[in-house]
């Protein structure tokens, strides 16, 4: 990805970021729904290889249709190649949901390290909608990329985060969740975990992304939020208490990592089986939840 081109000035980057964000907000909703197994809208995380070597990547896709695709390309150092700098640029292209082929062309820099060039992707999403792999072009020694659904391991710089693309449907979802929090002061999320585990399942990523976007809206960006874990009444009370804390902590860690939510805004607690949502049905799935509470 290296070249001799110089980077843009700060004012140009800011104007471009705001223009990109505005264009996303005014665009129509993407044709795919995230419930579609081959929908590609949302975050993809993994690596790609060019002249600088193995590089970490979070590709945030805002829209993907046969006529238009839009994404934000945020790259950073992988632990196996720690000297890679951080940068981000926009991408546009097209997507064929029938074949799963997604083509993205590098666009405008938002944060450019010296000597780097934008790249282009040409790849396929697997039938389960969990892997996106293919070829990289546009810069010397580029080879392949390999991405999967999941939270980003690297927090985007402010210049990248301000332009983080989201589909119009996601903005509407964030509005609905924000309204629910404002009206009731709390909302239960059905975050999915494997049995007796605190690792967030990929099925829950869209819901967590909706929460993250909600917490960044002007109405809530200064509020403290409680993240309270609950279990059903099956099993040992101490084990349930510990598990509920671990699950709440997993949600908080995702929000910090993927959206830059400050840790001091989050009150992480676990209540085990002491606050059942359905006391008359102690084993009910509804009791196993993560509750989001407005605190201030």
* Domain covering 10-161 assigned CATH 3.40.50.2300 in the classification: no
Classify 200 as helix, strand or coil: strand
The residues spanned by each domain of the chain are 10-161, 168-294
Note the pLDDT of residue 9: 44
Classify 25 as helix, strand or coil: helix
Q: In the block, which residue shows the tokens 């062309």?
A: 105
DSSP state of 1: -
Average pLDDT, the chain: 80
Asked whether this chain's domains 10-161 and 168-294 adopt the same fold, the reply is no
* Domain covering 168-294 assigned CATH 3.40.50.2300 in the classification: no
Q: What token pair was written down for 154?
A: 């690297």
Note the pLDDT of residue 164: 57
What is the per-residue pLDDT across 73-119, written as a single tens digit (0 to 9) for each? 999 999 999 999 999 999 999 988 888 899 999 999 999 999 999 99
Q: Tell me which residues of the chain have a pLDDT lower than 70.
A: 1-39, 161-175
Spatial distance between the Cα atoms of 145 and 21, rounded to a whole number of angstroms: 26
Strand runs (DSSP E) across 112-165, as ranges?
120-125, 131-137, 144-149
Helix, strand, coil % over all residues of the chain, rounded to 5: 25, 35, 40
Which contacts (CB < 8 Å, 24+ apart) does range 169-173 have? 169/29, 169/30, 169/33, 170/41, 170/209, 170/210, 170/213, 171/25, 171/213, 172/29, 173/210, 173/213
Note the pLDDT of residue 38: 52
> Cα torsion at 178, 182, 185, 189 (round to 10°)?
-20
Spatial distance between the Cα atoms of 42 and 108, rounded to a whole number of angstroms: 20
- How would you label 45-65 residue by residue, b for 16+ Cβ within 10 Å and e otherwise? bbbbbbbbeebbbbbbbbbbb
Q: What token pair was written down for 15?
A: 């104007």
Q: What token pair was written down for 255?
A: 């929000």
What is the per-residue pLDDT across 169-201, written as a single tens digit (0 to 9) for each? 444 444 577 777 878 888 888 777 777 788 887
Classify 10 as helix, strand or coil: helix
Percent of the chain at pLDDT exceeding 90: 41
Sheet containing 186-189, strands listed edge to edge, beginning at the edge strand earlier in sequence: 186-189, 289-294, 225-230, 266-270
Interhelix angle for 205-215 vs 237-259, to 10°?
A: 60
Residue 48 CB partners (closer than 8 Å, separation 6+): 55, 57, 75, 119, 136, 142, 143, 144, 145, 146
Note the pLDDT of residue 287: 83
């Amino acid at each position: 990805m290296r070249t001799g081109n110089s980077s843009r000035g700060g004012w140009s980057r800011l104007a471009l970021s705001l223009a990109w964000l505005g264009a996303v907000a005014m665009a129509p909703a993407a044709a795919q729904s995230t419930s579609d197994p081959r929908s590609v809208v949302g975050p993809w995380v993994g690596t790609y290889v060019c002249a600088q070597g193995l590089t970490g990547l979070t590709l945030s896709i805002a829209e993907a249709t046969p006529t238009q695709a839009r994404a934000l390309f945020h790259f950073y150092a992988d632990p196996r190649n720690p000297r890679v700098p951080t940068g981000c640029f926009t991408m546009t292209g097209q997507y064929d949901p029938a074949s799963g082929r997604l083509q993205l062309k590098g666009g405008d820099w938002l944060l450019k390290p010296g000597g780097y060039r934008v790249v282009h992707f040409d790849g396929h999403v697997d039938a389960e909608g969990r892997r996106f792999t293919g070829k990289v072009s546009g810069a010397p020694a580029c080879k392949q990329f390999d991405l999967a659904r999941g939270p980003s391991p690297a927090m985007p710089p402010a210049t990248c985060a301000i332009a983080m693309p989201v589909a119009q449907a996601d903005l509407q979802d964030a509005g609905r969740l924000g309204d629910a929090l404002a009206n009731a002061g709390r909302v239960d999320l059905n975050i999915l975990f494997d049995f007796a585990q605190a690792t967030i399942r990929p099925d829950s990523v869209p819901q967590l992304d909706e929460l993250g976007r909600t917490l960044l809206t002007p109405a809530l960006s200064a509020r403290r939020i409680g993240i309270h874990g609950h279990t059903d009444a099956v099993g040992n009370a101490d084990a349930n208490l510990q598990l509920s804390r671990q699950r709440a902590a997993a949600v908080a860690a995702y929000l910090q990592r993927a959206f830059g939510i400050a840790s001091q805004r989050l009150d992480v607690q676990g209540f085990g089986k002491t606050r059942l949502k359905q006391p008359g049905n102690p084993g009910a799935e509804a009791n196993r939840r993560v509750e989001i509470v407005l605190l201030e």
